[in-house]
Chain A
């Protein structure tokens, strides 16, 4: 193996694969390092994959990518202890020729993606953990790995090592994560025959359903639960802020178990065989938590740079976009014969600002704090909504006007007029 490359990419998740693919296709010599036995063996996702950004990298990905089901129906549920109120959006329009969202299984998807990267000419080496960056003064000049004689040099290093961003931390390029900027999610894979999934979720052969659930299932913590349909399994998970887990001393596996026992959820999982239990962090600090993502000889992409839109559950797409833009920046500088110093690489951050990535993160920049300070959105409201629905639908001889009054009174009692108006404004401001 040569000891010098134009570029080294750390981590073969969506960010690293996107970066390495883009570089290799432009003829840049690139080494992709992954600590897992194979790409994906360390990675956890829901997982919904958004086609648009993958298509930008691999236009014909549908030919051979390991896709589970395309999404035709989205259910958003507010749960209290015994009920759920929800909205469903289902459309045959989602059965389009080139569907927009798919469920995937990351251990398989990342492996497939990395094969494309190799085919484009990048060198992939797995089972290799990068321990720190090699520096010449302040300039990053390569990486140190845990293999004997494991120092490798490059003009630029793209850090795509995921949410913990340990490589950058070790080298003083970023701070430790804060407990209120990061969520811990636990997840299980529940296997069921394909036909059972299709009957239970009222879907056809390749069609899929997404359920996002919030409410008392998180026990007052900020977070959500989910069920995604794969071909012959269901991904079932729940995640909350680490600071909330710590404050309430909640056991994540108890929380997951409780979610699975909820009367609205339990029948969907009945008879399934669990084949894996997983846990992973998700960056949720949004715009204000994005660290410095470029410097002399280095760029940072994906979860390492905190590029996640938690409200819309977008992370893998942002990882692919930031990985691709990081690579394009390197390619352009190289073409122009410019050195990979911080000043030139700052072009990366500028391009991100112009992309949907930073535009969306900026739009929701106040949301993490607003939700953090206003737990009633996950405690009081789900109960009020379920209570209102119960009052409204129960036919019990009470006239409808009285029922209306009863519902209004329950909201005023639960949250006061001032509280209700304030909450509406706060939420509107944070998401407008």
Chain B
């Protein structure tokens, strides 16, 4: 009973974020070739932050990030390093309910 994929952007639209312009808290220092294992991030990130560029590189747009840590853990488990830190104090997701 698989339904069509929902648009995660529409869900994120409800949320409040304080974006730290120009200071992403997650980054990839070396360009990361999106290996099959890393491609899973495109699907399993709950905010849909990751995509694979036409040149095969993994790329993140973190505006909707929940700071959950899933991408860091999955990347590390396949021997890849994502520079992952919490945003500066006060920035990032701001739950009204949580």
Given A43-B98, A277-B12, A279-B46: A254 touches B3 (CB 8 Å cut-off) = yes
Complex-state Cα separation, A131 to B40, whole angstroms: 28
Asked if residues B43 and A249 are in contact (CB atoms below 8 Å), the reply is yes
Assess whether B35 is interfacial by the CB under 8 Å rule. Answer: no
Given A246-B74, A258-B1, is A279 in contact with B66 using a C-beta cutoff of 8 Å? yes
**Contact status A127-B3, CB under 8 Å:** no
Is A134 located at the chain interface by the 8 A CB criterion? Answer: no
Contact of A242 among B74, B87, B93, B98 (CB under 8 A): B74
What are the residues of chain B within 8 A of A127 when measuring CB–CB?
A: 89-90
Q: Report chain B residues within 8 Å CB of A105.
A: 97-98
What's the least CB distance linking B79 to chain A, in Å? 11
Q: Say which residue of A177, A182, A245, A279 sits within 8 Å of B47 (CB atoms).
A: A279
In the complex, what residues of B have CB within 8 A of residue A276's CB? 14-15, 95-98
**Measured between alpha carbons, how far is A306 from B73 in the docked complex, in Å?**
15
B68 adjacent to A279 (CB under 8 Å) = yes
A178 touches which of B37, B77, B90 (Cβ 8 Å): B77
For the complex with contacts A129-B86, A176-B73, 9 further pairs of A-B residues with Cβ separation under 8 Å are A41-B93, A129-B89, A176-B76, A184-B46, A251-B43, A253-B48, A258-B3, A275-B14, A275-B97
CA distance A106 to B70 in the complex (A): 21
Chain B contact patch, size range: 35 or more
> In the complex, A108 Cα to B97 Cα: how many Å?
7
Closest B residue by C-beta to A107: B98
Most-contacted residue by chain B among A36, A45, A106, A178 (CB, 10 A) = A36
Within the assembled complex, what's the spacing in Å between the Cα atoms of A182 and B66?
A: 16
The digit string for B29-54, where 1 denotes a CB below 8 A from any CB of A, is 00000000100100110111000000
CB of B28 closer than 8 Å to a CB of A: no
Residue of B nearest to A81 (CB): B1
8 CB < 8 A contacts A-B = A37-B90, A245-B44, A251-B48, A252-B46, A258-B1, A277-B12, A279-B68, A281-B68
What residues of A have a CB within 8 angstroms of the CB of B46 in the complex?
Answer: 184, 186, 252-253, 279
Selected from A35, A42, A126, A129, the residue in CB contact (under 8 A) with B95 is: A42
Task: Assess whether B40 is in contact with A249, with CB atoms less than 8 Å apart.
Answer: yes
Chain A residues near B74 (CB, 8 Å)? 179, 242, 246
Residues of A within 8 A of B76 (CB): 176
Of the candidates A178, A182, A277, which one forms a contact with B14 in the assembled complex, judged by CB atoms under 8 Å apart?
A: A277
B58 to A: closest C-beta gap in Å: 15
B74's nearest neighbour on chain A, judged by CB, is A246
Enumerate A15-58 residues with CB–CB distance to B below 8 Å.
35-37, 40-45
Q: A residues touching B (Cβ–Cβ < 8 Å)?
A: 35-37, 40-45, 81, 105-108, 110, 126-129, 131, 145-147, 163-164, 166, 176-179, 182, 184, 186, 188-189, 233, 242, 245-246, 249-254, 257-258, 261, 274-281
- Which of A107, A163, A186 contacts B97 (CB under 8 A)? A107
Known: A106-B97, A126-B89, A277-B15. A177 touches B69 (CB 8 A): yes
- Of B67, B95, B98, most A-chain CB atoms within 10 Å: B98
Minimum CB–CB distance from A219 to chain B (whole Å) comes to 9
Contact B87 A184 (CB under 8 A): no
B95 touches A246 (CB 8 A): no
A146 cross-chain contacts in B, Cβ below 8 A: 88-89
State whether B96 touches A246 (Cβ < 8 A).
no
Contact (Cβ within 8 A) B86 A253: no
Point out the residues of chain A lying under 8 angstroms from B89, CB to CB. Answer: 35-36, 126-129, 145-147
Q: Cβ of A246: which chain B residues have Cβ within 8 Å of it?
A: 37, 40, 44, 74, 77
A179 to B44, CA, bound (A): 12
Q: Provide the B70-84 mask, 1 if CB < 8 A to any CB of A, else 0.
A: 101110110000000
